[in-house]
Chain A
Amino acid sequence: MAAAAEKSTKERLLSTLDDLEVLSRELIEMLALSRNQKLPPSGEDTQVLDLLVQRDSEFHALMGRAVEQGRLQEEMISLQKEMDKRDSDIQQLQKQLKEAEHILATAVYQAKEKLKSIEKARKGSISSEEIIKYAHRISASNAVCAPLNWVPGDPRRPYPTDLEMRSGMLGHMSNLPTNGVNGHLPGDSLAAGRLPDILMPQYPWQSSDVAMGMLPPHHGNEFGPGHNKENEDDVEAMSTDTSSSSSDSD
């Protein structure tokens, strides 16, 4: 294509046209002059004619070039259109790709969540038989559901009653110091050694609950002096053992 330093085709065409105009005017003036003056024409008219012919051929060449340039320009336009179409196609595909990626990402995320919950459920899975057995056990002893014939005044409770507490292992352990060691394990002697303040069995709820009618009155009379229930000592013994393991979690 024409370099930037050269004049554009349009300019050259126009300048050639100007030259032609000037030359032909000159020629006509010379001819008019020579007719008037009847002088033998100098070689100038041939020069002018030559220049005229030259300019004419230049003009034709430039026109041809202009036509060629026009054709190329059209081709360029059509190619540009094609390019634009391709560009928009690419953008369309890009949008679809983005959408697809988004959908897939969501699907993958949800699948991962699902897997996590499956794992969690599997971890906590217990055989249904065991659950049923456990359900039987806690229902049979009326620990979670009151017996159908329960009335206020019935000593049964959803928690271990004082009687039950004292007749358990902990209750027996606390009986040691007054009864003497009777074949229990060395671990219990620790409990035996520290029994000071628990010996006062003044359970404060005994007096206040008689009015309720929900709690059986025998709670008030059950506790004799000397044997309390627990081994809060024993508990303390355990807590000192375990506090070293559990205190670090504080």
Chain B
Amino acid sequence: METEEQAKNRFQSELEFVQCLANPNYLNFLAQRGYFRDKPFVNYLKYLLYWKEPEYAKFLKYPHCLHMLELLQYEHFRKELVNAQCAKFIDEQQLLHWQHYARKRTRLQQALVEQQQQHAQHQPPHSNAVPK
């Protein structure tokens, strides 16, 4: 049985580790070192699935790690991660996804600005016509 202090430390280290799984470069690192071929390690990844429960998930700062953790349960994914191109592809896609909302928002803002500009452009001709 572990003491409360040990339990606290274990909680924190598992929290940090599971979030590190959000980093595809780190996953590539682990794959190339052969950790994904190690059965105890694979069991550990399965054990880490408890972070999906809401009472644990609320501590996660980088939620992408949960998706990675789910994917890591599949052997095919673990095997693929040995390739650097795979890790690079995942990284690119992850970054693009990350930027998605920001880009959408800037697009909307631009559209709004353009609309306002058009509105402003239409005003002057009318104000000239009115006195007529």
Contacts and interface: CB of A to CB of B under 8 A. Distances in A.
- The yes or no verdict on A and B being binding partners is yes
Interface of A: 124, 126, 130, 134, 137-138, 141, 143-148, 150, 157-161, 165, 168-170, 173, 185-188, 197-198, 203-205, 208-209, 212, 214-215, 219, 229-232, 234-236, 238-240, 242-243, 245-247, 249-250
Contacts, number: 147
B23 A159 contact: yes
B9 interface: yes
Interface string B44-75: 10110000001000101111110000000000
B5 A185 contact: yes
Contact of A126 (B54, B87, B95): B54
A219 B26 CA distance: 12
Interface residues of B, number: 52
A238 B44 contact: yes
A249 B5 CA distance: 28
Given A158-B22, A209-B88, A246-B44, A168 B16 contact: yes
Contacts of B25: 203, 205, 219
Contacts of A203: 25, 29
A242 B47 contact: yes
3 closest Cβ pairs, A-B complex: A159-B22, A239-B44, A159-B23
B13 A173 contact: yes
Contacts of A212: 88, 92
